[in-house]
Amino acid sequence: MYPKCKTYNRKKIILIFICCFLAVCILTGRLVKLMVFESEYYQELADDLHERERSIKAARGKIIDASGTVLATNRTVCTISVVHSQIKEPEKVIEVLSRELELDEETVRKRVEKYSSIERIKTNVEKEIGDRVRAYQLEGVKIDEDFKRYYPYGSLASKVLGFTGSDNQGIIGLEVVYDEYLQGINGTILTQTDARGVEIADAGEERVEPVAGSDLYISLDYNIQLYAQQAALKALEQKQATYVSILVMNPQNGEIYACVNVPEFDLNDPFTLNMDVDTSGLTEQQKQDLLNQMWRNQSINDTYEPGSTFKTITAAAALEKGVVSLDDTFSCPGFRMVEDRRIRCHKAGGHGAETFVQGICNSCKPYPIK
Ligand SMILES: [Zn+2]
């Protein structure tokens, strides 16, 4: 029996050894997985907990007209956030923030009580309100100043300038075309905290300063634009038109002095429709379509036949080549066929007999076509 027992013991030892070996292998494998392959993921989670990052918005470049008038600039606004672990009087914080920021108490409570390193309560808060909240000196409430786009002349040249979204990005017009120059680079404030979320005094704040965007100088002239806008509004009313566009251009070099498309919209409130439409029954897509229609710059997006403006060129060419004389007569029947198109004169029934000069005075269509 003795040798057999010895074999039995050895078997047992080998079995235990194999078990231990496997356990060590599994643990090592797990450790390698955590430390090598997933280290980045866990590092990020830890950083999220230990580092508190707040961004400093870069000042967006101004848009300035030909005479130095600022057409688009920035206003200082505040972003208000709470740091859960630093709040000492949660009830007071909830009460003050919901009252001052005109927010629902439940919404504020949810954010204040959420266990996160930093929670944003409201952005684009007027500076006076931000200053008022700061005056309470509540622990755990952070007030950061940043910028909001501001258009001093409201709706002037709205479809040319365009506006920006909540992240300071251009949405239409020059704001989007020159976005990369205007935008600038946002900065950050990085604060190190311990596991409980308390800021480590020695670690200090790491600050990356923002870089302001470049200013944009355009050929548009504030005074000419304003004058053209008044003329367009007058025509809009007189003709009961849907829209009126005026483009003032320097013929020598193509510089645009004014580009008006009335009705314009308020650049400081671009998501409110400027038309009388009941939007209650509309889908999101239909509302978006109406906004797109309101933002549309007709001067550059729509085509329109040169029409009467081109008659002067036709008439000058005909006179210069001696094809017509001032006293030549013509009879306008009210329309003229060109290929398969029947082009009507603006006077139904026609102008009848008229001389070349009268034809031009009447702005008659069939005459220059002939
Ligand atoms: Zn005619």
Q: What is the residue extent of each domain of the chain? A: 53-217, 222-301, 307-369
pLDDT of res. 296: 93
Output the pLDDT for position 50: 67
From 109-118, 154-163, 248-257, 311-320, the region with the lowest mean pLDDT: 109-118
Is 162 in a helix, a strand, or coil?
A: coil
pLDDT value at position 194? 67
Residue 79 is predicted with a pLDDT of 87
Measured distance CA(301)–CA(303) in Å, rounded: 7
If residue 337 lies in a helix (H) or strand (E), which one and from where to where? strand 335-338
- Predicted pLDDT of residue 256: 96
Q: What is the Cα–Cα distance from 72 to 155, expressed in whole angstroms?
A: 11
CA of residue 355 to ligand 1 center, whole Å? 11
Mean residue pLDDT across the chain: 87
Ligand 1 centroid – CA 331 distance (Å): 8
What's the CA-to-centroid distance between 358 and ligand 1, angstroms? 10
- pTM score, two decimals? 0.65
Task: Flag the least confident range among 129-133, 307-311, 343-347.
Answer: 307-311
Going across the sheet that includes 187-192, the strands are: 51-56, 187-192, 205-208
Q: If you average pLDDT over each of 34-43, 110-119, 329-338, which comes out highest? A: 329-338
Q: How far is the CA of 238 from the centre of ligand 1 (A)?
A: 24
- Per-residue confidence (pLDDT) for residue 365, from 0 to 100: 87
Q: 265 pLDDT exceeds 90?
A: yes
How far is the CA of 203 from the CAs of 54, 85, 190, 193, 194, in angstroms? 16, 18, 10, 8, 10
Q: How many CA atoms lie within 13 A of 25 on its CB side?
A: 6
Cis peptide before 333 (omega within 30 of 0): no
3 state SS of 1: coil
Name the more confident of 331 and 55.
Answer: 331
CA distances from 249 to 41, 270, 335 (A): 57, 27, 33
Q: How far is the CA of 343 from the centre of ligand 1 (A)?
A: 11
Is 17 in a helix, a strand, or coil?
helix
* Contact call for residues 184 and 62 (beta carbons, < 8 A): no
Distance 298 CA to ligand 1 centre (A): 29
Q: How far is ligand 1, taken at its centre, from the CA of residue 330, in Å?
A: 10
Helix residue ranges, H only, 239-341:
284-295, 298-301, 311-320
Question: Could you tell me the fold of the domain covering 53-217?
Answer: Penicillin-binding protein 2a (Domain 2) (3.90.1310)
pLDDT of 235 above 90: yes
Catalytic residue positions, numbered:
308
Strand stretches in 63-193, DSSP E: 63-64, 70-82, 119-126, 141-150, 187-192
Residue 93's pLDDT is what? Answer: 87
Is residue 241 very low, low, confident or very high in pLDDT (cuts 50, 70, 90)? very high
Is 2 a residue whose pLDDT tops 70?
no
As beta bridge partners, residue 72 has 63
Q: Give the DSSP H or E segment for 368.
A: helix 366-369
Separation of CA 333 and ligand 1 centre (Å): 7
Largest CA distance in the chain: 143
Across the range 310-339, mean pLDDT stands at 90
Q: What is the mean pLDDT of residues 277-306?
A: 87
